[in-house]
Amino acid sequence: MNEVTNEFGGKVAVVTGGSLGIGRAVVERLASGGAAVVYCGLDEESVAATETELRAKELDVTGVAADVTDAGEMRGLIRLAVEMHGGLDVLATCAGIQRYGTVEDTTEELWDEVLDVNLKGVFLTCKAAVPELRRRGGGTIVTMSSVQAFASQDRVAAYTASKSAINGLTRAMALDHAADGIRANVVCPGSVDTPMLRWAADLFRGDTSQEDQVAEWGRAHPLGRVARAEEVAEVVAFLAGPRSSFITGAEHRVDGGLLARNPAALPEA
């Protein structure tokens, strides 16, 4: 293998939300680069299916069903990786949910659900992981946020709040643990073709098809399409590996140019 394809040789990674969408792509990318990867998902069936599919590619992956909002389960996830492989070098937090509503019509229960999964889940996983990263002499944390940390859609009050907070939490961790040799960065995708995006497309497609709705959202990006999960995973791998050794506390947009555009467009010439 060349240096890039084996950049995670001998490394141990944990990925939350690793059985679907971006998280699954991250698991495959890190394992393809030589890492031993332990990941979790909430749905036992998808966790098992992902493990079977990736092991068939001779990748060193282990999946468990675990809830990122449960501190004990996140400690158990990190402990499993350490017991199986001797330590921890990389943490990627990819678990997340999307819900819709304004501040006025968002219930307290829905608010708690979104903040618990999207933000508290990151906190609990990192809290469990940092001591193990420190014991290895350092490591990397990559959190998954969204362009909506910078510019919100309508009716996503809880989601936008959670993603903005992830960016702030990541900056704090980068400062607090730099002396431990731990780097922390956040990835902020635009629209990505995942089961969560397809679920949202079904909610809002009206009389059009799911594919047409996804394509319409893609046209909002200057590159003219939504991202593939694998494209986001490449950025995660870069930030998790040695090629980004002087990058920490940074926000990395993977948005096809979405936030580069000023909506007050000039008239056609």
**Amino acid 224: pLDDT:** 96
Which residue type sits at 256? G
* Tokens 């008239």 belong to residue: 267
pLDDT tens column, 3-33? 567 999 999 999 999 999 999 999 999 999 9
* Contact assessment for residue 167 and residue 186, using Cβ atoms and an 8 Å cutoff: yes
Tokens of 191: 């629209």
Q: Are 155 and 190 in contact (CB under 8 A)?
A: no
Q: Is residue 52's pLDDT more than 50?
A: yes
| pLDDT > 90: percent of the chain | 88
pTM: 0.96
Concerning whether 159 is annotated as a catalytic residue, the answer is: yes
68 near 121, Cβ under 8 Å? yes
Q: Would you kindly state where each structural domain of the chain is located, as residue ranges?
A: 12-190+227-253
CATH 3.30.1130.10 describes domain 12-190+227-253: no
The pLDDT of residue 1? 40
| pLDDT at residue 43, as a whole number | 95
What pLDDT sits at residue 4? 60
Nearest to 240 by CA among 82, 96, 133, 131: 133
Least confident range from 115-129, 171-185, 250-264: namely 250-264
> What pLDDT was estimated at residue 18?
98
Spatial separation of the C-alpha atoms in residues 234 and 146, rounded to whole Å: 16
DSSP 65-130: E--TT-HHHHHHHHHHHHHHHS---EEEE-------B-TTT--HHHHHHHHIIIIIHHHHHHHHHH
Task: Answer with the residue of higher pLDDT: 52 or 2.
Answer: 52
CB 227 within 8 A of CB 191: yes
Q: Mind listing the pLDDT tens digit for each residue in 185-237?
A: 999 999 999 989 888 888 888 889 999 898 898 999 999 999 999 999 999 99
* Residue with the larger pLDDT of the pair 201 and 238: 238
Catalytic choice (8, 159, 217, 238): 159
Element (H, E) at 267: none
Predicted confidence (pLDDT) at residue 67 exceeds the cutoff of 70: yes
Give me the helices (H) in the chain, please: 21-32, 44-55, 71-85, 108-115, 121-135, 157-176, 195-204, 210-219, 229-240
